[in-house]
Amino acid sequence: MFNVTKKSIQWGEETLTLETGKVARQADGSVIATLGETQVMANVTFAKSPKPGQDFFPLTVHYQEKYYAAGKIPGGFFKREARPSEKETLVSRLIDRPCRPLFVEGFKHEVLVMATVLSCDLVNDPDVVAMIAASAALTISGVPFMGPIGAARVGFSNGEYVLNPAMDDMNQLRNNPDQRLDLVIAGTKDAVMMVESEAYELTEAEMLGAVKFGHAQMQPVIDLIVDFAEDCAKEPFDFTPPDISAIYGKVKAAGEAQMRAAFAIRDKQDRTNAISAAVEAIKASLGEEDLADANLGSAIKKLESSILRGDVVTNGTRIDGRDTKTVRPIVCETGILPRTHGSALFTRGETQGLVVTTLGTGEDEQIIDALNGNWRSNFLLHYNFPPYSVGEVGRVGSPGRREIGHGKLAWRALQAVLPAATDFPYTIRVVSEITESNGSSSMASVCGGSLSMMDAGVPLKAPVAGVAMGLILEDDGRWAVLTDILGDEDHLGDMDFKVAGTTNGITSLQMDIKVAGITPEIMEQALAQAKDGRLHILGEMNKALSAPQGFSEYAPKIETMSIPTDKIREVIGSGGKVIREIVETSGAKVDINDDGVIKIASSDANAIKRAYDMIYSIVAEPEEGKIYTGKVVKLVDFGAFVNFFGKRDGLVHVSQISGKRLNHPNELLKEGQEVKVKLLGFDDRGKVRLGMKMVDQETGAEIVPEKKEKEEAAEG
């Protein structure tokens, strides 16, 4: 009934297995990839003809994490997987980005890739397994895919590169000082196609070494997929790339001069309008048959690309007049919004980000519900890209894949310099509103985010800046790396290479390639230019703000205290009664965790002190020999009971009330009276012994006996 093909290799410390022929047999390609006990099923289907008039390649990738894979039931009201999580969106992009450039040029049939996590062992992250499964499924499906690709995760610990480190090591990267890198890489046998990483100030050489290491380690995976496909791949789909030479010749003859003039305009909006006018002029000169040609759009894009790319490679001059290494003019402003906790406006050329920081308390932390369990994040970064930022009219909805991806890239770049939660007990939310865009708005979010957090008083370890690099790679082997790329250079170029970091090293690197990969020589040049660009941008940022500022008066103040874990129950009280009373009486927010760390937050310092004192009185132990202010709660024949420390009472014996002999304590004291007492010690049964006669009831100072005063004076 089943025609199963199964292949395995030893990959690092685990066995990697590919299997097809048993499940989802009606898909064009279906592969279950297994690493350890993590399993991902990838299914590929593609339309056998393009939609009429289709002028782009409609590839759709969905990565899905099923909670049953880790033996969990989803949270929420409906108890089922619903909208994609951030992790699912990001992994979908990880699969899409290296695969998309490898489809045969001109192929415009719909392609759907679905990767589903079936089992997760909580050691091997399913994301890399999903990339491998998708690559294998595409390779055997018959679709014109010029793969396969391989993928790997790279860590960097104690000066050594690590292949596929465990999930826990990567998920808690901030709390693991020995692990300095989480890098996912994908590529073909000959070249790297995609890199996504977060790092802790790695040098350019260390980062390049990680990329080379990852590319070498994925080669056995590529060989496995090739061997696997030789046994089970379907016949290649009969597809001949369209010949656009005829329509391109007509487009070039009709509009090259006008298009070249349009690209010579420096201002983005004026240039965009001129390019649109040139396109309309080209269409107006063509006949109905040419206008109906499905390859017209490709021919126009080819003309635009040849003009932009040719001038850069030949003359070293870009469409805005810069050379290949110059960063656009930068203006940095901070503290521009009066009621926010921190704000910055970062402008680089025609790209601008308004970035705002808000400081919150422990209850503002984001709860992440993931396959490997629930955990909390105290650093949030959200990126918004409204249509007006590029002068367009468009629908505004929930964040799309691009916004989630750009926000995560900026998050990765900044998280490496955050203070430890024990040193800065705030939840930090950064929001980047892109108000103008012409290339690299994610890196503007990094720069603006760094400035905004420092404006809010966040003690960053160092400022962070980011820059986007581009590449023009011609068929004749000529190439040019571009610093701080424009939107058109990203759209028509061959690489989007984003690098962020401090003066000491790289904190994040993301690379996407639109051709069949780049060489180490090109990447080394890109990293070197990116470092120069980053240092220049940091210098401009430092002119506006080079160190954290004081807190806004509107930001909550937080004080932390630690208590023994066996005292947590006393602070919370039965049903939370005690902690509710503390919050209501003091006016401060109180958050306590299982380790006994308590965060007390309020914009009123007095409220924090009241809450602190109330908690301290519950958990602290009175100290022998120390003087306390108390209240008489009961008088008896032999003395007075005084409440002197929280809810703790002690006895002042009648002989310890005054230096004069008393028949009854009521001769000097009455219930409710405030008195100063000294803790004399504890009796055999642990009861507290207090004294009053040795304490000045006016000042609270201890009365030193006359003999002792003379001895101390003689010693002095």
Contact call for residues 167 and 122 (beta carbons, < 8 A): yes
**In terms of Cα–Cα distance, which of 516, 476, 525, 475 is closest to 497?**
525
* CA atoms of 42 and 327, how far apart (whole Å): 42
Give the span between the Cα atoms of 561 and 582, in whole angstroms: 15
**pLDDT at residue 645, rounded to an integer:** 83
| Predicted local confidence at residue 168, as pLDDT | 80
pLDDT of residue 517: 59
DSSP letters, 553-615, are TTSPEEEEEE--GGGHHHHH-GGGHHHHHHHHHH--EEEE-TTSEEEEEES-HHHHHHHHHHH
What's the DSSP call for residue 85?
P
pTM of the model: 0.85
DSSP letter assigned to residue 72: -
- Give every residue of the chain whose pLDDT is below 50, as ranges: 707-708, 711, 716
Q: In 475-506, which positions are buried (b, 16+ CB within 10 angstroms) versus exposed (e)?
A: eeeebbbbbbbbbbbbebbbbbbbbbbbeebb
Query: Which tokens hold the place of 99?
Result: 């695969």
pLDDT tens per residue, range 229-250: 999 999 999 998 888 889 999 9
- Closest by Cα among 107, 95, 79, 185 to 137: 95
Contact 502, 462 (CB under 8 A): yes
pLDDT of residue 621: 79
Separation CA 19–CA 32 (nearest Å): 5
Domains belonging to the chain, first-starting first, are: 5-232 (3.30.230.70), 245-293+295-315 (1.10.10.400), 330-418+426-472+517-544 (3.30.230.70), 557-619 (3.30.1370.10), 627-715 (2.40.50.140)
pLDDT at 36: 95
